[in-house]
Amino acid sequence: MFKVGIIGGTGYTGGELSRILCTHPDVEIAALTSRQNAGRKVSDVHTYLKGYVGDLEFTQSISETRDLDFVFVATPHGVAMKEIPQLMEQGIKAIDLSGDYRFHDVDVYQKWYGHEHTDVENLGKAVYGLPEFFRDKIKGADLVANPGCYATSAILACAPLIRTGLVNEDVIVDAKSGTSGAGMVPTERTHHSTCGETIIPYSVGKHRHTPEIEMAVDMFAGSHSKVTFVPQLLPIVRGILSSCYFSLKKDATQEDLDSIYERQYGKETFVHYVPEPSIRAVVASNHAQVASKLIGDKVVAFGVLDNLVKGASGQAVQCMNLMLGLDEKEGLNLPGLGV
């Protein structure tokens, strides 16, 4: 049984990690930190965990718990780079769910996140945590950078096509997300009377998942690409739909596209190629759906997932399983809600 800690246990991703891990057969949640809730029972804060985490209490810091095997850092950006070095020194494997370790290029991080990176040494060691493409590297990693939710949905949709050279590398990503993607702290934009019964474009040209999608597209294309990313807020709690638009380099049929995606995902547990993707089909699960449609000399590829599970905490547990030598599906092999 592996002893696991979560730094940042009260946010949506921390709570979702707890929900998934509390029934994981090979894991014990040994520590959750929270500055504002230190000393309180976890089940009094996350009432949906009553009966699943015993009398576990939030602590002020992770160092108050001894002999941890693994730690998730589920905090806003800027925090993980202060926590990760001491975890690495102690030989504790870790996953960062913020953006602190996603870019090996420190200049890219500092440009988009607006402050200095203080752990450049571990920045270069972090493995990008997308199992469907980097499974072998994740297995041998001590530190994994969990991908962003928008980035995961877009990369799953785009990467199979880009790898073939069938499409031009430049892509338009039109993405829509539920309000939980904005985190727990209320804002004017996420106030119900602002976002209910409407769709709101936001952070266009400034969203921090833009360079992450570009980084991944470049890896698969082998050259620099231009990503035009337009995020939008939907009046739902969970889920992302990314519609990705390409121009063909050469003639192709719908059967050609289907074959590309079936080769990529046909044997995957958590990514499914379907005729018509649906957010409700994947909500509350670690499953993602992808689809593609040929329209003349254009291709539209779709990526759909639950932003809190395959887009965050579920994917992190999937990576943890690989890093600890466990069955990749452990704790995650449940279907979406469907309705």
CATH of the domain at 16: 3.40.50.720
Which two three-digit tokens encode residue 31? 């520590």
- As for how many domains the chain has, the answer is 2
**Is 22 part of a structural domain of the chain?**
yes
Of 222 and 241, the one with more pLDDT? 241
**Is 8 part of a structural domain of the chain?**
yes
Domain housing 81: 2-125
Read off the pLDDT of each residue in 48-76 and give the average, rounded to a whole number.
94
Q: Evaluate if residue 186 carries a pLDDT over 80.
A: no
- Quick one: how many helices (H) and strands (E) in the chain? 11, 14
pLDDT at 194: 84
On whether both 114 and 171 belong to a single domain, the answer is no
Q: What is the DSSP letter of 148?
A: P
On whether both 54 and 197 belong to a single domain, the answer is no
**Is 192 part of a structural domain of the chain?**
yes
Read off the pLDDT of each residue in 247-263 and give the average, rounded to a whole number.
97
pLDDT band at 192, cuts 50/70/90? Answer: confident
On whether both 10 and 108 belong to a single domain, the answer is yes
On whether both 183 and 252 belong to a single domain, the answer is yes
Residue from 149, 158, 195, 244 carrying the catalytic annotation: 149
On whether both 161 and 302 belong to a single domain, the answer is yes
**Is 25 part of a structural domain of the chain?**
yes
pLDDT band at 65, cuts 50/70/90? Answer: confident
On whether both 88 and 156 belong to a single domain, the answer is no
Contacts of 21 (CB under 8 A, 6+ apart): 4, 6, 27, 29, 317, 331
**Is 324 part of a structural domain of the chain?**
no
pLDDT band at 91, cuts 50/70/90? Answer: very high
On whether both 276 and 154 belong to a single domain, the answer is yes
CATH number, domain of 161, equals: 3.30.360.10
pTM score, whole prediction: 0.96
* Domain end residue (candidates: 77, 93, 125): 125
Backbone angles phi, psi at 61, to 5 degrees: -145, 160
The answer to whether residues 148 and 206 touch, using CB atoms and an 8 Å cutoff, is no
pLDDT at 271: 98
Q: Evaluate if residue 183 carries a pLDDT over 90.
A: no
Q: Evaluate if residue 184 carries a pLDDT over 90.
A: no
Choose among 285, 286, 282, 283: nearest CA to 315.
286
Of 66 and 67, the one with more pLDDT? 67
Backbone angles phi, psi at 201, to 5 degrees: -70, 140
pLDDT at 225: 83
pLDDT at 62: 92
Q: What is the DSSP letter of 11?
A: S
Catalytic residue list contains 244:
no
**Cα 286 from Cα 318, distance rounded (Å):** 9
On whether both 159 and 284 belong to a single domain, the answer is yes
The answer to whether residues 336 and 281 touch, using CB atoms and an 8 Å cutoff, is yes
On whether both 121 and 174 belong to a single domain, the answer is no
Q: What average pLDDT does the structure give for the chain?
A: 95
**Cα 131 from Cα 135, distance rounded (Å):** 4
**Cα 245 from Cα 10, distance rounded (Å):** 37
The answer to whether residues 291 and 160 touch, using CB atoms and an 8 Å cutoff, is no
**Cα 126 from Cα 146, distance rounded (Å):** 10
Choose among 231, 224, 240: nearest CA to 209.
231
Q: How many percent of the chain have pLDDT more than 90?
A: 88
On whether both 192 and 52 belong to a single domain, the answer is no
Name 127's bridge partners. 144
**Is 323 part of a structural domain of the chain?**
no
Contacts of 107 (CB under 8 A, 6+ apart): none
pLDDT per residue as tens digits for the range 310-322: 999 999 999 999 9
pLDDT per residue as tens digits for the range 93-145: 999 999 999 999 999 999 999 889 999 999 999 999 999 999 999 999 999 99
- The interaxial angle of helices 106-113 and 209-221, nearest 10 deg, is 150
**Is 99 part of a structural domain of the chain?**
yes
On whether both 103 and 188 belong to a single domain, the answer is no
On whether both 186 and 269 belong to a single domain, the answer is yes
**Is 329 part of a structural domain of the chain?**
no
